[in-house]
Amino acid sequence: MSQFPCPHCKEAVYGYWDRYKAAKWFILVCQHCGKRACAHPIIIVLFYFFYVWDVVLFGYLTYLKESWVYFSTLVVIWLILDAFSVYIPLSALKSKPVRS
């Protein structure tokens, strides 16, 4: 079930799982044109900042206050970030240089 287009050929070749992996620094290869794409790196860095902020802040509050409310908040925010990471725009990558 492909719903997201390739940034090169504009064909819908990527599904939700592919986009989720792209948000975790994986490189995607288009099945239609064979070119490479990845999630936009600057936006991934921002997402990882929020992941770290979530774990540090609410993990510390869970440890300090020994409350399940903070831990459940940590899990909910983590899941929301994972859900939104599917919609990070893809960037077209250049072809790999040929080594001689």
The 10s digit of each residue's pLDDT in 72-93 is 999 999 999 999 988 888 888 8
Domain-embedded: residue 81? yes
Domain-embedded: residue 100? no
Domain with 35 in it: 4-92
Domain-embedded: residue 8? yes
Q: What percent of the chain has pLDDT over 70?
A: 95
**Of the candidates 1, 33, 39, 37, the residue with the CA atom closest to the CA atom of residue 20:** 39
Burial class (CB in 10 A: 0-12, 13-18, 19+), 83: exposed
Sign of the CA dihedral 72, 75, 47, 6? negative
What are residue 5's DSSP bridge partners?
Answer: 12
**Of the candidates 27, 18, 41, the residue with the CA atom closest to the CA atom of residue 95:** 27
Number of separate domains in the chain: 1
Q: How confident is the model at residue 100 (pLDDT cuts 50, 70, 90)?
A: low
